[in-house]
Each structure stands twice: as C-alpha cells, then as structure tokens.
Structure 1
Amino acid sequence: MKVKNQSFFLLRNHPSHKSPHHHLPQFPTFTKCCLNKDQETLVCDIQNTLLLNSTSFFPYFMLVAFEGGSILRAFILLLSYPLLLVVDHELGLKLMIFITFCGLKLKDMKNVGRAVLPKFYLENLNLQVYELLSSARSYGIKVLIFTRVPRVMVEEFCKEYLSVDDIIGTELHSIGGYFSGFVSSSGVLVKHKAVKEWFGNERKPDVGVGSCILHDQLFISQCKEGYVVSKEDGKKSARTIMPREKYPKPLVFHDGRLAFFPTPLATLCMLLWFPLGVLLAIIRLFVGIYLPYHISRIVGGLTGVNIAIEGCDYSWENKNKQTGVLFVCTHRTLLDPVFLSMTIGRPLTAVTYSLSKMSEMISPIKTVRLTRDRKQDGETMYQLLREGDLVVCPEGTTCREPYLLRFSSLFAELTDEIVPVAMNTHVTMFYGTTASGLKCLDPIYFLMNPRPSYHVQVLGKLTKELTCSAGGKSSHDVANYIQKKLADALGFECTNLTRKDKYLMLAGNQGIVEDHDLTFNGLIEYELD
C-alpha cells in the first residue's frame, strides 16, 4: 500500500499531470516564428522539440545499452521500464543513466554517438523545427541546445548534422575511461536555470522553442520570444516523414546491429526472439553448407529466407572458353558470393582479405586470400579465372544505405568476360554487417532475422566494346561504367567514398588490420588512382 500510494503521489506530481492552472501562459506555435538578422541567439531542446515521439528517451538509451554495452545490459534496462512508469521524471532519468552507463567505456559511447544514434535521430527529426534552425543558421543566428538528457548522447549528432554552436546537457561522471553511472555534481540539468547561468541576469536569448510541458514553458519564458511545438504540429510533422533528400547531410554510413527503433515493446519482442533466432541461424547455415544449391534454396525459403532472382540467364556461357566469368557484385553482406552461387546454381570462388577463421570454416564456396599487393593479387585472380568463375565486390566494404561506393579498377584489367550483378538485402531486426563489432558474427546476425531477403539481379554480360583489351577502354572507365549500371538497376546513388572513408567515420580508423588479426573480413578493394 505504501508503494502504491507513493506511486500515485508521484504520478500526480509528474509535470505532465499538472493541472492547466499551474501552467504558464501559453506561447504561440513555432510555425508563427519569423526570424530576422537582428536576432542573435535561438535556444531549443532536442527532446519533444527537434525529435518527434521523444516524450520518453527510453529507445535511445536502449540503443546505447545494446550497441555500446551488451544484450544483458539491454535486458536489465528493459526490466526497469515498469518502474520508470511510476517514478518521477528526474528519478527515472537517473535510473536509465545508471543502468545504461555504469561501467561503459567512454570510447564505446563515442562510437555509438558517432555511428549508431544519428540514423535514428534523423529518422525521427521534426522537419519543420529543423527548417527553423536552418533559417537561423542562414541569418547568422547562434543556435544553442539545452537538454536534460546526457550531453554525450546528442552532442555528436547536433554538431555534425545540425551544426549547432553549443550543446548544454546533463553531464555524466566518469573515472579511468569508464562511466560510473552517476550524473556529475551539478545534477540533472534544469533548463530554465541553465539558460540563466549561461546568459546571465542582464541578457536573454532572442528566441526560444520548446514543448507544451511545464519545464519547457519555464525554459522558453527566459527568452525574449517563446514558441512551442504543439501536439497538432507534431501530428502534422509525423504524417510526412523527413525524406532522405532533405537530410542535413547524406546518411551513407552507420553502424550497430539493431535495424529497428527499440521501443519497449519492440525490444521485448527482440529479446524473446533472440534464442530462437540463434537456433534458426544455425539451421540456415547448415542448409547452405551441406545441401545442394537448388535444394538449399528451397529449404532456405521454407525457413523464411526470401531470395528474389531476376535476369539470371546463363545461356551465354561458353563451355569451351579458356577463362571463367568474372562476376562483379555490389557488396551488401559477406554472404553476397554465397547467394550468387545459389542463384546461378554453380560453385564460385570468392577472393577475400583478412577473412575470419570462422567465416572461412562455414563458407560453402571456395575463398582465396589476397595480399593487398596489386600486382601479386592481379596474378592470383587471373589464375583463378583460368580455373573457373570468380566473384569480386570492388566496393571493398559493405554499405547498408542506397549508395554505391567507389569501385576499384583492378578487376577490369583481368578479363573481358565480365557480368555485373546487382545485389540488395532487406532485414527487419538485425544488420548483418558491422564496422566496430565482431565481424565473424556477421553471417549469424543476418540469418537471425525472421525473414531476411536477398534480391539478386544478374545483368547482361558486358559487351566487348566496353572492356579494356577488346574495346580499348581504360580500367577506370570500365569500373565507373559498371558502378553506374548497377546503381541504375538498384535505384541507388553513386559516390566517390571508399572503405577508408567508412572506417574513419564509423570506427575512427582506416579499417586496416595486421596479418595476425583475423577478425576483419571483406572482399577485394584497392584505391583508384
């Protein structure tokens, strides 16, 4: 009874349950805000303002707990959710911070903030509020973010994608490169007090944007002009999801395993599925390894793996040719060559570098390691082509989004028997690629999805006039032509980004490992001159 009465008392005193009579006078909607060059500062929050459906920041804490921590940490955070519903907002925030950050490495949080969270922030970004911030930037108005959530969770996104001038949020205590799980001595940020401290008693920010809750009303009351994002504004924005072409900057690379927004219900479903998913992935692996191609394709379909095949016409194959066919694929996961072999019903050889021992053992097709020496690797692949068909992915690394990275040109110098293959994947729960995690688990995670899908489109063989030796084209021209042809087939966009760009952005390194480190996997890639 004491717990029940205490919970009722806390709920009654939660800001969202306050009587309207306790609210400050209502401010106009932010759509009526008209900025001008005379204004100097604009302040707003990211929660309930810049992000849609962010009354609870629980899903973003879950992303940090799972991607930066472990599935056990995510499970403990989910168990705490019922308690978060009955305690007051500040206590609930401290509890989420403790479970999510206690013992977490600072560098792991930095990786999550740089490579994981931005994708989910962009997908929930309020387009209209973002356009207001963009207008402020165009007028030279200084934009400041004041938020109660931990600063480390939003700083990377706000500076990299929104170009804000400063972020003031709750600071976390750390020791020896690890978070302690507690907030700093200053406590959870109180926004209206933080604004006063930041600007002093003699100055006020020109424009403030917040939500309709009491804390934000107090926050924007410290500004010369205050505007709110009402529920009606939120509903209008939610009906039109921010299109990719309007993102502040293209989202080409992102990391992490979770392919869904981890709300409490979605996270519960994932955790319940996880043991079954591991078992299902093992079954699918054995099907792909031990059964013939045409049977494994059927049995795989019965387990939920959807393989869509388009344009697979192998009638141009010449049984008496001296060299094999070189299949040039887009690179979505490590399983690209395996699914291509299943599609055409023929064993292929895949060239790799630094492939994990586990991936080598479970591979149902032949894999050959390369040395990164262009001349030596060219000779190796030429010899492999004399023995049979070969598959390469000239992007050199995987890309999840609808973009193609720059193609290496080495493959174009090897043969005129070139067949472009457009491959794409779709997952609903887990991504089968990673830049900073255990790459040997990539195939497992992909096959753990309830219904993973592969779309394989074998395009027509490249005509002799478009090849190097027969057509006199440069290897760069051939590589660029095939990249454009594959992008058109998939509806993707070509880029000049490379594997180095990806790893510098996601992992803070160039993706190069020593020979003794066998945790890195990928298909052949060389830089274009």
Structure 2
Amino acid sequence: MTASMKTMEFPMVLLRLADWFLYHFLAISCYRAAMKLKNHAYFFLKNPSNIKSSHHFSLYPNVSKCNLYGRKSQTLVCDIHGCLLRSQSFFPYFMLVAFEGGSIFRALLLLLSCPLLWVLDYELKMRVMIFITFCGLRLKDMDSVSRAVLPKFYLENLNLDAYEVLESAGSKVVFTSVPRVMVEGFLKEYLSVDSVIGTELHSAGQYFTGLVSNSGLVVKHRALKEFFGEKRPDIGIGSSSLHDHLLMSLCKEAYLINKSSIMPREKYPKPLIFHDGRLAFLPTPFATLSMFMWLPVGIFLAVFRLFVGIFLPYKLAILLGVATGVNIRLKGAAPQKSQNGKGVLYVCTHRTLLDPVFLSTSLGKPLTAVTYSLSKMSEILAPIKTVRLTRDRKQDARTMQRLLREGDLVVCPEGTTCREPYLLRFSSLFAELADEIVPVAVNTAVTMFYGTTASGLKCLDPVFFLMNPRPSYSVEILGKVPRELTCAGGKSSFEVANYIQRQLAGALGFECTSFTRRDKYLMLAGNEGIVQEKRR
C-alpha cells in the first residue's frame, strides 16, 4: 500500500465515524426534541389556560380509535416486539430458545448476562442475546422450538387491541429487529401475516454461529422503504418508541399502542391444543433466577417423593406427599367388586405418566396399567404393574382381557398426554373388552415444569413433575357406565368411547377433539410417537 493511499484511508475513517455520530446522536436527539416541541406546542395552542399542566399529548391517536371496518383491501405494518406482544422485553423468548433448544447451561449463561444487558443500548443488547442464544445451536432445534414451544407464550402475551386491528387488514407485513426464525412461524401460522422482515442470522452447515448476517439488525423504517418503495402502507401501529414513530410516519394512518389488553383464550386465532417444552412459566430474568435457585431443592424433593411413592404404603405415601407440597384431591369412591369375576376397567384422561399411579394411591389398592411407548426406566420405577401394548388390535385385546381376569385395569384411551383443556379422540378398543367401565377424570396443575414431553427424554417426565414446588393432582371417580350404554347393552364400541369422552370432558370442563396421538407427535416432534424396539 502506497503512502498516498494510506493518507486517503484515514480521512475516510473519520468521515464514517462522523456519519455514525451524526445519525445516532444529533439526528435522533433533534428528532426527539422536535417531537416534544411539536407535542407541547399543539397542546398549548389547544389549551392556552393550562400551560403549566403536566399532561402529555400523543402525536398519534390510540389504537382503540381505529375503525376496523372496510380494511380488507388495505395493508398494515407493525412490529411484534412492543406492539403485538404485551411484554416490553424480548428476553423471555430468547431464554425459551436457550433453555428448550439449547441446554440449561446456555440458559444460565444468558441469565448471568443480564447485568451487562441492562447497561447496553438496544442494538448491542440484541446482538449479545443473539450470540449467547444461538452460537452452536442446531437449526433443527430452533425449528422445533419455534413450532412447538414459542407459540404458546406468544398467544398468552398477545395484545388484544393490536390483534383486532391486525386481523381487520387484508395484507399484513411485520418488520422487526428480532431474529426472523424466532417469530416467522408463529406470525404466519397463527396470525396469517403475509411477510415477515426480521434480522437474519448467519449459519454454518446445520448450526448457527451466533452472528447476525451481513445485512445487520433490521432497522424498521429503512426496511419498510426497501420493501414498499415509493408506495405507502395504509395503516401502521406501534409503541411510543422512536423506531416505531419513524415506521408509523411512513404510513397513511398511524395508531399508538399505549396499554396492554389481555387476549382471552376463546379469542385465540387458533386453538392452542398441543405444545411442548419443560418450562410452564414465562422466563423473565427474575422468574428464571427463582427457577435456578429452586433447582437443588426441587431435585431433592423429586427424589424423595419418588422414593415415598415406590417403597411406602399408600396411606403413609399420601401423608408424606402432602407434607412435601403435593396436592392430591380425590372425589368419589371405588366401585364395588365386579359380580362376573372380572376386574373393573378404569378409563382415565391422560395428563402425565403418573395418572395410574395417583389413581392407585388414591384408591389405596394395586392396579395394573397398560401402556404404549413407556421407557424402560419408567417401567422399572413404576410402583404399580405396567404391561406394554403392541398396537396390534387383536393381540392387545387378548392381553387386556387376560389382565381383566386377574384384577382391576387402568387404560388411557387418548394414547398420549395433553396439557391443555382438551381431550383427544378415544380409542374404542377398551369398550369391546369390559361391561363394567368406570370413567376417571384426572387433571393436573404445575407452576414451574411440565411433566410431559414429546421430543425430550420421557424417562424424566415424572421427575420434572415432582420437581414443582406444589404439584397438584385431581382425581374424580365417576359412577359406573350404565350397562345399557355399553357394548353389552347393544351400543357400538365407537358410541361407548365417544359417550365416555363427552362425560369426562363435561366433568373437567374440557373440550372434545378428534385429534389423535399421531397428530400430536407429527406436529411437535415430526414423528408418529412410536418407540422402536432395538433388535438383538
């Protein structure tokens, strides 16, 4: 490099630094000052007698003032962060990706970065969270989290007012500095957004590097100009932040989101039936810190509760379980012994792998449970007898008939667990095998960890459930199904299964669906949920 070239390079560097300084400090400061002056000037002219008032006038009307009718031919633009979602911080969603897609150590590292994140500006904060969350993360793990974990938390934090305006528009475009891979699936599948322009991440092979692509973080108003060109969108909605104001200034109409309105479940754009992941709470920094502080105690409690359930008598197990925080509620009583010499068939709703165990403990007598894909570890630790079915209808029928001749039997005809207030379609096989059927409405409640998984280690399901501070199990034993409503009374097995499904749904306040085990696993894990036995 010649001396003349070196002398030319130094001034160019100075010019770039000056340009950066002018934009980030002078331009933004002047814009804020102009907006404040305009707001105060307008307010003073409208209210000359209240010059000393401290009230603030907004440049844009509230989103509640937006007319929702006749918008189907119009285009709306907004951001998911600070607009569609009620929470002002996107940290919890990065934590979900770090914990569910990465590991507990990645989640801990992200939590430890919080003091640093608090002192950084928005752009640096976003880059640091992206690096910690995505460095070395597999692309398929991110895809799984975006499909099975994040939608639940997004739906629970949707802003009702913002959603109603979004739904009224015919064309919807979202501009966000959040990584596109974290939000695109939810926005397109649940909110029918046409295009999502978000920050692109760099990847190497099947892994993220943790770096942002060459295009950098998305600047919303610049991305809007590039996307629409000279055309102006019809509607823009956003928060009171500077970047949202710049975005809304490029729209024909603009409305401000300045309050959070909760989205009720009945107004969800799509029913939330299936979701995965271990965390049962939104992992804000404080909530995540509380979880890590609880973990040593939770692990000890889970081991102790497992020991109590496996080795101690029923009454003592219930006493010690309740003493350690397990809430067990039993309603109803066991039916009288069958007159035909066969055992009673208990038909349960399926919330966790522990359903038959809690039923057996609540009744104070041993039961046999039939299972499909139960891990070897769960079979070893189970305090009751478990028998694995083969999914061959004739062979499974013979197995269940034999077990009924030996004693009482528990079956969960949904075939898999469901966390939400829905019941999956009941298999009708059980209805063909017994005349004395007792429906059992089982429900659970957790505050920290879910005790079920579709893509994780199933052998840890009971451990995670028992790690909760106060896990709750509700068991309601309904009366025997009248003989005239069974197959012995002339009903088909499908009619019996559907009747019992409706009866249990009514007792729990749940909704019946036609979804099956296969539907759940195809959606959450990309497989049919069948554990392949190893051939020797």
- Counterpart residue number, 1:523: none
- Which SS does the other structure have where 1:198 is aligned? helix
Residue type matched to 1:450 in 2?
Answer: P
Please, which of 246, 267, 280 is the counterpart of residue 288 of structure 2? 267
- Counterpart residue number, 1:375: 394
Deviations 1:288-347 (A, max 9, x none): 000011110111111111100001243x224x6411010000000000000000011110
Judge which range, 38-47 or 214-223, deviates more: 38-47
- Counterpart residue number, 2:220: 191
- CA distance, structure 2, for counterparts of residue 172 and residue 94 of structure 1: 10
Residue type matched to 1:262 in 2?
Answer: P
Please, which of 357, 363, 368 is the counterpart of residue 349 of structure 1? 368
Q: CA deviation at 1:514?
A: 1.5
- CA distance, structure 1, for counterparts of residue 245 and residue 75 of structure 2: 18
- CA distance, structure 1, for counterparts of residue 28 and residue 381 of structure 2: 54
The 1:178/1:15 distance shift into structure 2, 3 A limit, reads farther
| 1:143 and 2:172 aligned | yes
Residue type matched to 1:249 in 2?
Answer: K
- Counterpart residue number, 2:145: 112
5+ long unaligned stretches in structure 1: 1-8, 518-529
- CA distance, structure 1, for counterparts of residue 243 and residue 144 of structure 2: 31
Q: CA deviation at 1:39?
A: 4.9
Aligned length: 491
Q: Is the 8 A contact 2:343 2:408 kept in 1?
A: yes
The 1:123/1:317 distance shift into structure 2, 3 A limit, reads same
The 1:23/1:369 distance shift into structure 2, 3 A limit, reads same
Residue type matched to 1:159 in 2?
Answer: K
Residue type matched to 2:202 in 1?
Answer: H
- Counterpart residue number, 2:15: none
Residue type matched to 1:379 in 2?
Answer: R
- CA distance, structure 1, for counterparts of residue 224 and residue 373 of structure 2: 52
Matches within 5 A, 1:394-413: 394-413=413-432
- CA distance, structure 2, for counterparts of residue 356 and residue 71 of structure 1: 23
Please, which of 136, 158, 161 is the counterpart of residue 103 of structure 1? 136
Please, which of 234, 238, 243 is the counterpart of residue 210 of structure 1? 238
Please, which of 86, 89, 92 is the counterpart of residue 122 of structure 2? 89
- CA distance, structure 1, for counterparts of residue 302 and residue 35 of structure 2: 54
Q: CA deviation at 1:204?
A: 1.4
Output the TM-score relative to the length of structure 1.
0.90
Please, which of 500, 514, 518 is the counterpart of residue 496 of structure 1? 514
Q: Is the 8 A contact 1:15 1:214 kept in 2?
A: no
- Counterpart residue number, 1:521: none
Matches within 5 A, 1:53-92: 53=87, 55-92=88-125
- CA distance, structure 2, for counterparts of residue 181 and residue 118 of structure 1: 23
Q: CA deviation at 1:516?
A: 2.2
Q: Is the 8 A contact 1:151 1:170 kept in 2?
A: yes
Q: CA deviation at 1:475?
A: 0.3
The 1:66/1:269 distance shift into structure 2, 3 A limit, reads same
- Which SS does the other structure have where 2:443 is aligned? strand
Deviations 1:462-515 (A, max 9, x none): 11111112x011000000000000000000001111011111111122212312
Q: CA deviation at 1:34?
A: 2.8
The 1:379/1:145 distance shift into structure 2, 3 A limit, reads same
| 1:485 and 2:485 aligned | no
- Counterpart residue number, 1:307: 328
Q: CA deviation at 1:32?
A: 2.1
5+ long unaligned stretches in structure 2: 1-20, 39-58
- CA distance, structure 2, for counterparts of residue 360 and residue 105 of structure 1: 32
- Counterpart residue number, 2:33: 21
Q: Is the 8 A contact 1:51 1:121 kept in 2?
A: yes
Q: Is the 8 A contact 2:72 2:168 kept in 1?
A: no
Residue type matched to 1:40 in 2?
Answer: Q
Residue type matched to 1:91 in 2?
Answer: L
Matches within 5 A, 1:274-423: 274-314=295-335, 316-318=336-338, 321-423=340-442
Deviations 1:413-459 (A, max 9, x none): 00101100000000000000011111110000000000000000000
- Which SS does the other structure have where 2:370 is aligned? strand
The 1:436/1:15 distance shift into structure 2, 3 A limit, reads farther
Q: Is the 8 A contact 2:173 2:194 kept in 1?
A: yes
Residue type matched to 1:42 in 2?
Answer: L
Q: Is the 8 A contact 1:143 1:165 kept in 2?
A: yes
The 1:441/1:474 distance shift into structure 2, 3 A limit, reads same
- Counterpart residue number, 1:512: 530
- CA distance, structure 2, for counterparts of residue 484 and residue 406 of structure 1: 10
Q: Is the 8 A contact 1:312 1:343 kept in 2?
A: no
Identity %: 68
- Greater relative CO (CA pairs within 8 A, separation 6+): 1
| 1:129 and 2:195 aligned | no
The 1:406/1:15 distance shift into structure 2, 3 A limit, reads farther
Q: CA deviation at 1:38?
A: 8.1
- Counterpart residue number, 1:227: 255
- CA distance, structure 1, for counterparts of residue 486 and residue 499 of structure 2: 10
- Counterpart residue number, 1:254: 275
- Counterpart residue number, 1:156: 185
Q: CA deviation at 1:13?
A: 7.0
Q: CA deviation at 1:169?
A: 0.4
Q: Is the 8 A contact 1:23 1:214 kept in 2?
A: no
Q: Is the 8 A contact 2:372 2:415 kept in 1?
A: no
- CA distance, structure 2, for counterparts of residue 510 and residue 15 of structure 1: 56
- Counterpart residue number, 2:481: 462
The 1:17/1:337 distance shift into structure 2, 3 A limit, reads farther
Q: CA deviation at 1:142?
A: 1.0
